[in-house]
Structure 1
Amino acid sequence: MTPFSRTGAGHGGIATLICGALAAGGLAAAGVTALEPKAASASSHREAPLISGTPQYDNTDVYAFVSPDKPDTTTIIANWIPFEEPAGGPNFFTFAEDAQYDLRVDNNGDAQEDLLFRYTFRTHVKNDKTFLYNTGPVTSLDDPDLNITQTYDIELLKLKNQYPVSRTKVADDVPVAPSNVGKASMPDYGTLRKQAIHQLAGGAATFAGQADDPFFLDLRVFDLLYGGNLSEVGNDTLKGYNVNSIALQVPNHLITESADQPVVGIWSTTQRKNARGQFRQVSRLGNPLVNEVVNPLKDKDTFNASAPKDDAQFLQNVTNPELPKLIEAIYKIKAPAEPRNDLVDVFLKGVKDLNQPPHVTPSEQLRLNTSIKPAAKPKRLGVLDGDTAGFPNGRRLTDDVIDASLQVVEGELLGAKNDLGDAVDKNDKKFGHSFPYLANPTEGSRGPLAKGVDSGNDVRSQLGDALRPAGATGSDDTGLIAMSAGAGAAGVLLVGSGLLWWRRMRNRAY
């Protein structure tokens, strides 16, 4: 839809084959969502009717890549809670306590997880007599002014035929990076982010907390594919929104089957506790855009509750994608012939000689060859532009999955060369050079200051002393400030009543 310039190898061999994954899976159709905008948006933001009403359990994106600064490790990132408005207080954004947030790894290609990293969260409140998320400026994760905090545990489960054969707790009571309330509340958020990075045994690391949403695209594609005349492209719809992220960095040898078989399949799920106390899967995500635009409404909730081993039930959605038909109807670009069997093999199996495991069972996973070294200069179109370290060989934060996907679904592999895209080529914030690589979240106080107000926060800094929990040093808890506020209100009421009486007296005829 908008042209772009390519560099590098481009269209041959593995590059051509790989991109089929995009067409079959992630792209095969902004179509469904274009017709039903309330049921979907973004990679997996509000993509299914049921999960869209429970954002704490809604997984938005999964990323998996060989760590650029530590190539003997793999970084897995999964995000939840789409469209977090930074100023959305006083109840800011927390992980659910009745959920299991899982990162799943299939290391032999049989469509069943062999390793499962399970994150579970607990919420802690220091003072429930105030409405505030923080009662003063927060300078550390254990700051007494950080009123609402979360911690998490990590369990590693090893499975066979989907049944656990061992269970190990690898982390306990790790602090979560808080929501970025604003500069008065968190004057140095970068320090809080660093304190939330926790080193694990064996050279692994973990992080959980708020981050800038790393997915970049123009979501107005759902307005009948960019308004029907391409007039709406070029706006990063997710700019300024945050997500809750889990990031895990693990040595490659811990997740691969062997040095001779370095390909892993990765996806994430959310399980929610039901009324009977049982956990049931309510969200699932591997490749971007699959449940978003490949599956029609009738299959979306089913997909979220399903496992990769059962993905044959969704095959028809891949072989007959809706998006090309919509593009043909609106823009008169002829849709490739169906069925798209050439794309199905790549999408469900991985690319031969790149990220396809031997004896693979077809299933929807984000497949990564951990032996491919990171690119010195990553290309946003990944394998489509000759960069085999990028999407769909895993997914890096900088990969432009929308442009690559649109080009492939419109026949790039079949000789129909095109430069389709949404004119959003990078994230609005720069990513980090070290774990967890995510950009810091946008702060809640990002707006301009009021007229006549400077950048000081002297008054707000004093709130902490008045609102400390019982037993803490300093002034007594909320009672003091409540009495002061009450006395002030009474004084205002008395003065106001006196002024009203005086005006009435002046207006009398005698």
Structure 2
Amino acid sequence: MSPTDAGRRLLLSSACLAIAAACGSALASSHREAPSITTTPKVDATDFYLFKSYEAGRDGYVTMIANYLPLQDPYGGPNYFALDPNALYEIHIDNNGDAKEDITFQFRFKNNFKGITLPIGGKNVAIPLVQAGQVAGANAVANSAVLNVNEQFSVSIVRGDRRAGTSAAITNATGGSATFDKPVDNIGVKTIPDYAGYAARHVYNVAIPGCAQPGKVFVGQRKDPFAVNLGTIFDLVNAPVSVITDPSLINAAPNTIDNKNVTTLALEVHQSCLTAGSETVIGGWTTASLRQGSLLDPSPRKGHQTAARSGGAWTQVSRLGMPLVNEVVIGLPDKDRFNASKPVNDGANFADYVTNPTLPRLLEIALGLPEGGLAPKNAGRNDLVTTFLTGIAGVNKPANVVASEMLRLNTAIPAVAFAQQNRLGIVGNLLAKGSDNAGFPNGRRPKDDVVDIALVAVAGGLCVANGDNNALGFGAECRPSAVPLGNAVFGLHDAVDQAVVPLLPGFPYLNTPLPGSR
């Protein structure tokens, strides 16, 4: 090997390591992604999914999944992980490309304390736990007599502006109630021996005002579906370069968050209720809001769940559409600002972070690489603008689009059965010359390995796929010669395979949460 070849190989290895580090700060998806949200984990969105339902018999349906409250330890008793009754959780849909919500699904929560007591020394004394016995049997439900807390929720659909639009309650298709029970978290196998069956009884068929087709809703704890080599990545990518650049080792490392749960808000709605006119592309994102003011009560009343009294206008504190944006794209001073922002303002507020990403150059400096040894050379990074802000022409770009960050899904592209889904989404489909265009960044499915896809995209993989003929419409500058790594970019990975995470074959798709004891 000549000295020149040896130098090139060393540069390639260093560049690959740098790229992995570039996405390292994002590789927890949106778990604790901004300074302020770390103080209010109950309203911290971890992941958002938007995809054509691939469950058998559900053609034409779209599934939306918003996960909240990150990094839940299954043994986190005695109070576990109820959501915030003082918060407003929302899933927004833009169906005309103007970066404004046209449909919003709003979730509100209420914790009912039953005050179960035991006779002790002639007095009835309140128990300190959320359960007073085993929740078992074929008809075990969330409002079981032995459960001391019954968490309930309501869902409304708002058409138009999320605050000024027309609101109507979504109701249970059986009985018409507008209140739903949320199953208690998976305390352990002694308390709830058949948690999978118990949780399944809280998947509701629902009537959605203005929709001819019924939908489904489920809210409850799930196993975190995200996979990432988190500890190693945060420790300055403490892994051999030979591993993260060898495609045969995509599952060589353990999934760091394989032992964590999250709380899921899942909806399945027929696409005809989400689209408008002839436009088949919808955009989606999730937010959480708190009241503008909160006053601590020095003398809370018995049986009340908080010492704070909240009031004032709803104030958005969490936002999530595309995975990894607030982590790897938005600069530290603007992370809290991004969480409080609306997509329609993205062009004015955050465009420079997409067109001029800083992390590749910072890592070139940190690792002693020459300028241009890592970052793709296409000025303006139109490949990232297309991926994150407009959608890809011919795939998921609306006819009239305002550049803004959100997941975009073309509902006209059919779902692909789980076994045939390409783990690298559209990037993998391009490489395989296949027929799976139903994956990230055309929406996001639980199987899509967004970490590896992001590694490839940040390093310029879409420019390699674009070719010299501008096949994907990313611009003449976005071509293979602009990518320092060339075809080697497609071999990048974090050594954890998203595709092997256990999932359910149908709604709500995310797997049974891990129990507090086995």
TM > 0.5: yes
- Trace 1:256-295 onto structure 2 (pairs within 5 A): 256-258=275-277, 260-273=278-291, 274-275=293-294, 276-295=311-330
- Trace 1:348-497 onto structure 2 (pairs within 5 A): 348-376=389-417, 377-386=420-429, 387-414=436-463, 415=480, 416-417=486-487, 418=489, 419-426=491-498, 429-446=501-518
How many angstroms does 1:426 deviate by? 2.5
Q: Distance in 2 between matches of 1:429 and 1:356?
A: 30
How many angstroms does 1:221 deviate by? 5.5
Structure 1 partner of 2:237? 226
Contact 1:228–1:330 (8 Å) recurs in 2: no
Q: Distance in 2 between matches of 1:301 and 1:364?
A: 15
**Change in CA separation of 1:109 and 1:221 when aligned onto 2, cut-off 3 Å:** farther
How many angstroms does 1:33 deviate by? 6.5
Q: Distance in 2 between matches of 1:429 and 1:402?
A: 14
Structure 1 partner of 2:219? 208
Render the CA deviation track for 1:281-302: whole Å, top value 9, x for unaligned: 0000000001121112100000
How many angstroms does 1:30 deviate by? 5.8
Render the CA deviation track for 1:149-190: whole Å, top value 9, x for unaligned: 211011110015x65331101132101021100000110001
Q: Quick one: which amino acid aligns to residue 391 of structure 2?
A: G
Render the CA deviation track for 1:319-342: whole Å, top value 9, x for unaligned: 122332355454955221243134
- Trace 1:331-342 onto structure 2 (pairs within 5 A): 332=369, 334-337=374-377, 338-342=379-383
Structure 1 partner of 2:198? 192
- Quick check: 97-106 or 316-325, which moved more? 316-325
- Trace 1:237-248 onto structure 2 (pairs within 5 A): 237-248=256-267
Matched, 1:299 2:334: yes
- Quick check: 215-224 or 89-98, which moved more? 215-224
Q: Distance in 1 between matches of 2:135 and 2:179?
A: 20
1:106 counterpart (89, 94, 100)? 94
Contact 1:28–1:318 (8 Å) recurs in 2: no
Render the CA deviation track for 1:216-272: whole Å, top value 9, x for unaligned: 1111364354127447972311101000100000000000113x2111000000011
Render the CA deviation track for 1:81-139: whole Å, top value 9, x for unaligned: 00000001001100100000000000000000000000000001222611112111112
Contact 1:29–1:322 (8 Å) recurs in 2: no
1:132 counterpart (124, 129, 153)? 129
Instruction: Give identity over the alignment, percent.
Output: 39
Structure 1 partner of 2:187? 181
After the TM superposition, which segments of 4 or more aligned residues of structure 1 sit over 6 Å from their partners? Answer: none
Greater radius of gyration (CA) = 1
Contact 2:130–2:148 (8 Å) recurs in 1: yes
Structure 1 partner of 2:67? 79
Contact 1:59–1:283 (8 Å) recurs in 2: yes
**Change in CA separation of 1:322 and 1:218 when aligned onto 2, cut-off 3 Å:** farther
Contact 2:94–2:102 (8 Å) recurs in 1: yes
How many angstroms does 1:144 deviate by? 0.9
Q: Distance in 1 between matches of 2:235 and 2:47?
A: 23
- Count of equivalent residues: 413
**Change in CA separation of 1:105 and 1:29 when aligned onto 2, cut-off 3 Å:** farther
Structure 2 partner of 1:323? 359
Render the CA deviation track for 1:380-425: whole Å, top value 9, x for unaligned: 0010011211000000000000011101211212322221101111
Q: Distance in 2 between matches of 1:263 and 1:96?
A: 32
Matched, 1:67 2:68: no
Q: Distance in 2 between matches of 1:437 and 1:226?
A: 31
Matched position secondary structure for 1:150: strand
Render the CA deviation track for 1:450-481: whole Å, top value 9, x for unaligned: xxxxxxxxxxxxxxxxxxxxxxxxxxxxxxxx
Give the RMSD, CA atoms, in angstroms: 2.2
Q: Distance in 1 between matches of 2:275 and 2:453?
A: 28
Structure 1 partner of 2:168? 168
- Quick check: 303-312 or 321-330, which moved more? 321-330
2:273 counterpart (254, 258, 279)? 254
Matched position secondary structure for 2:50: strand
Matched position secondary structure for 1:164: coil
Contact 1:403–1:421 (8 Å) recurs in 2: yes
Matched position secondary structure for 2:179: strand
How many angstroms does 1:429 deviate by? 4.3
Q: Compare relative contact order (CA 8 Å, sep 6+) and give the higher one, 1 or 2.
A: 1
Q: Quick one: which amino acid aligns to residue 444 of structure 2?
A: R
How many angstroms does 1:54 deviate by? 0.8
How many angstroms does 1:352 deviate by? 0.5
- Quick check: 411-420 or 243-252, which moved more? 411-420
How many angstroms does 1:349 deviate by? 0.5
- Quick check: 325-334 or 50-59, which moved more? 325-334
Q: Distance in 1 between matches of 2:258 and 2:223?
A: 8
- Normalising by structure 1, what TM-score? 0.77
Q: Distance in 1 between matches of 2:455 and 2:24?
A: 15
Q: Distance in 1 between matches of 2:406 and 2:325?
A: 10
Q: Distance in 1 between matches of 2:51 and 2:386?
A: 22
Q: Distance in 1 between matches of 2:276 and 2:357?
A: 34
Contact 1:97–1:120 (8 Å) recurs in 2: yes
- Quick check: 316-325 or 377-386, which moved more? 316-325
Q: Distance in 2 between matches of 1:120 and 1:80?
A: 14
- Normalising by structure 2, what TM-score? 0.76
**Change in CA separation of 1:432 and 1:349 when aligned onto 2, cut-off 3 Å:** same
